[in-house]
Chain A
Amino acid sequence: MSEEKKPEERKKRRTATEAASKIGPMVKASIGGTVQAREEGKPLAYSFICCCYDEIIRAMDVVPIWTENYAGVCGAKRDAQRFLERAESENFSRSLCTYALCGLGFDAWREELGEMPPEAPWGGQARPDMMLGSGQMLCDPRNKWYQAAQHYMPDVPIYDVGLPWPPYEDDYDYREVQDYYVKYIVRELKGLVKFLEKHTGKKMDWERLSGLVDLTDKTWNLIWEAYELRRAVPTPMGTGDAMNTMVPMVFMMGTQECYDYYKDLYDELKLKIANKEGVIPDEKYRLIWGGGLPSWFALSDFNYFNSKGAVFPVETTYRMIEATYNFDMDLSKISDPLEHIAWRWVKFWTYWHDKARKRPGSHPDVERLIKYIEDYKIDGIVMHEAFSCRSWHVGLIWQLNLLKKVYRDIPSLILESDIVDISSYNEVDTRAKIDAFIDTLEAVKR
């Protein structure tokens, strides 16, 4: 690697919780673990977060390589540019998802060398035995990325799981269609099990899978309860930390380690609340991170907010769980583990529909914002528009407009940058925007 391309050294970001500070080493160990697993001949699968196949791959002893996570790590270490440039040289547009571009650039390089690219962050991303994509309303790269990666790894098979959920519509309720959605998802998950059995030479242990499904329900509920503790004033944990504590939620679901992590987090937050220990001692403004993935290379912006007296007790991003006991059906009565997973998926994505139905002109995404605004005593909304990702970053303006229409006007700020591509980021401009937003919050308070 040339001298000028070496990543800029960054100081470790200050976290409010012990739990958040544990994440860096955990991720490093996880990535290192995949490289080791490769050496040990364990089956490895490129995987996406939020695809509800966590318990299935765990039950099959398949080691997931979370490709979005690795791109995020490259971004956070400010060492993604060389992989993005490599992807660009392969004729991938720089306007595409930069997680995918970083991964594809890395893959192209690794496959060309037959070994990890030089000084690959945290030992590099191991070559997979299979790739598990998914078709959702969420994100095209979930099926296009791995398909494109086959250009460099034509021998690596893909299974693409169809995982739809019912959209929110005016002329029918999701309950009218949910059965056929679940039926389809179950068929798709069965196909995944068959695929894994074929490529691992191992049979699914259905009893083990059922155990992991139950453990996941328990973990979802525990996370929800832990995160709800953040309603406290002062809040014991902000979104900056939540961007760390999401790691077990999305990368370790279906493991005891994940459950134990959130038990520790829960206990830590309880203790902080008892001691009246907040993220900052004197909260002036309570904000919601209302949409968009963070710039992984600029998480210290959350600390900058803190320095201005602002905290984030809640966020919509990476809160990929609900308390399952709040669903309108009792999941514990579904004995088939694949059906259980499918119902949990559909109930999660339709969770806010009923609330929206009750407020004329509203929408589930906006209802979620309203609920959080009220529950967490929120003064303002911050969102982030990452230029390379249409999944989470389209509809932000509309949500704010609709919120104002059906609820009330609330100060808002949309930051603009990217998840991985640091060339889109300007710290001075970003902080000037934050300063101006703080002035607005102050004016509204007065």
Chain B
Amino acid sequence: MPEKVALKGLAAADRYYQDYGFRARELKKQGQKVIGYLCAFVPAELITAAGLVPFRIKGDVNEPITKADTEMETIVCPLVRSCFDMALKGNYEFLDGLVVPHACDSICRTYDVWKYTLDLPYAHFINMPHGTGDASLDFYGDILNTFRASLAKFTGKEISDQALAGAIKLHNQNRAKVKELYELRKASPPLISGEELTKVLIAAMSLPVEESIEMLGSVIAEVKGRGEVSARKPARIMVIGAQVDDIAFIKLIEDSGAWVVADDLCPGAREFLSSVDVTTDPVAGLAERYLRKIKCGRTYREMEGNYEEYLEDRFGHIGRMIDDFGVDGVVLYIYKYCDPFGFEVPQIKSYVEAKGTPVLYLEDEYSMSTIGRLRTRIQAFLEMLVK
């Protein structure tokens, strides 16, 4: 494909990260249709299967939010406001459509603001349920079939089971590559820094899945090939939060004298470390993965057993990651106005601390203007950790 970045590995990721949307813009020029979406809860497999290019919309912590405030209340999560601001400022002018999932209030309640303001040829809301019981799973299957039919109406072509199965296979391959990349973080020091990894994952959000697989493969080869290049740092940190789609915060931690070696973030472990099962009805596999396998505060997991078992069900993956990646401390990084994660802070904090791992809780506003304050808190936390 012409115009595709000739670079490979980390250099390619850096290029796609620095000029986010570069590749989608090129594909649009070549006549492909690009569908923007918010959040990890949009099954991009369906967009791929429809012959469209899925493109994850991101914000920009370096860009003050200005235009968005004329259309959207400032009580919305600052990440969503920043994404919307970027769209209004023309950064995503190549989009043919928009897909918004029922993720959180800030995303759900602004769907109409996005839809009517951008006025793109295509818009769809995925009304994902909160619960994870059988009734919710069946309902979600119906919701996904409505989305499937809606995409088919837009493209004028049905999405066959075969096409969907093919797309699922590709997206699973993409996830497998990310998983391979995460394995490289387990070494001490890690073979890939948190900043590099974050950049790669953000770049991947902007690419068609085949190109993402290719880029990830070249990154893995490069990282493995360069051997141990990281300097030793005294602490290994895990970051937990919602969508961190900029390297600034991860870089801040690493510049303060620690490695970020694990996360429960999007893009990150939350969305990449679980795959879609191959099922007779491919939609059933998608429903299972997005509703039950992604453990995010937006989804309500029904309690089974006692309260301790319930916490283990909700946060056990965090505990396992702390062990597997040799994590010394956890930074709980929550945006202001974030309901799904904000309400979980006391529970996550006490769960992790009960395992003997210290936690730093930071509330932030998705802006570089707060970086000085955050630096002070992180430095103090790291000092405490290495004492």
A residues lining the B interface (CB < 8 Å) = 90-93, 95-97, 100, 133, 135, 137, 139-141, 143-145, 147-148, 150-151, 154-155, 157-158, 160, 162, 164, 166-172, 176-177, 180-181, 183-184, 187-188, 191, 361, 363, 365, 385-391, 393-398, 401-402
Contacts and interface: CB of A to CB of B under 8 A. Distances in A.
A171 B149 CA distance: 10
11 contacts: A92-B342, A96-B342, A135-B129, A162-B135, A169-B123, A385-B75, A393-B75, A395-B73, A397-B73, A397-B113, A398-B112
Interface stretch (B272-280, B296-304, B318-326): B296-304
A164 B133 CA distance: 15
For the complex of A and B, 7 pairs with smallest distance between CB atoms: A135-B130, A154-B307, A144-B343, A140-B339, A187-B135, A184-B139, A390-B105
B105 A394 contact: yes
Nearest to A414: B73
B138 A184 contact: yes
B127 interface: yes
Given A155-B307, A390-B76, A148 B344 contact: yes
A398 B71 contact: yes
Given A184-B135, A188-B131, A397-B70, A169 B75 contact: no
Interface stretch (B46-54, B88-96, B171-179, B346-354): B346-354
Contacts of B70: 397
B108 interface: yes
A144 B113 contact: no
A158 B71 CA distance: 37
Interface of A is mostly: loop
Contacts of A91: 345-346, 349, 361
Given A137-B108, A144-B343, A396-B73, 9 more contacts: A93-B363, A96-B343, A133-B300, A150-B310, A164-B127, A169-B150, A385-B73, A394-B72, A397-B73
Contacts of B142: 177, 180, 184
Contact of B139 (A147, A154, A164): A164
A100 B343 contact: yes
B367 to A, nearest CB: 14
A141 B343 contact: yes
Contact of A151 (B149, B306, B338, B346): B346
B106 A167 contact: no
Interface centre among B105, B113, B127 (most CB of A within 10 A): B105
B127 A390 contact: no
Contacts of B136: 135, 162, 184, 188
Interface in B19-61: none
A141 B300 CA distance: 11
Given A394-B76, A396-B73, A162 B113 contact: no
Instruction: Report, as a range, how many residues of chain B touch the other chain.
Output: 35 or more
Contacts of B340: 140, 144
Given A95-B342, A141-B339, A172-B146, A394 B130 contact: no
B381 to A, nearest CB: 15
B366 interface: no
Nearest to B337: A95
A388 B142 CA distance: 33
B371 interface: no
A393 B303 CA distance: 31
A145 B340 CA distance: 10
Interface in B106-131: 106, 108-113, 116-117, 123-125, 127, 129-131
Contacts of B297: 144
B4 interface: no
Interface centre among A91, A162, A184 (most CB of B within 10 A): A91
Contact of A140 (B105, B124, B149, B361): B105
Nearest to B301: A147
Interface in B241-274: none
Interface centre among A97, A155, A398 (most CB of B within 10 A): A398
A90 B349 CA distance: 10
Given A143-B130, A171-B154, A391 B109 contact: yes
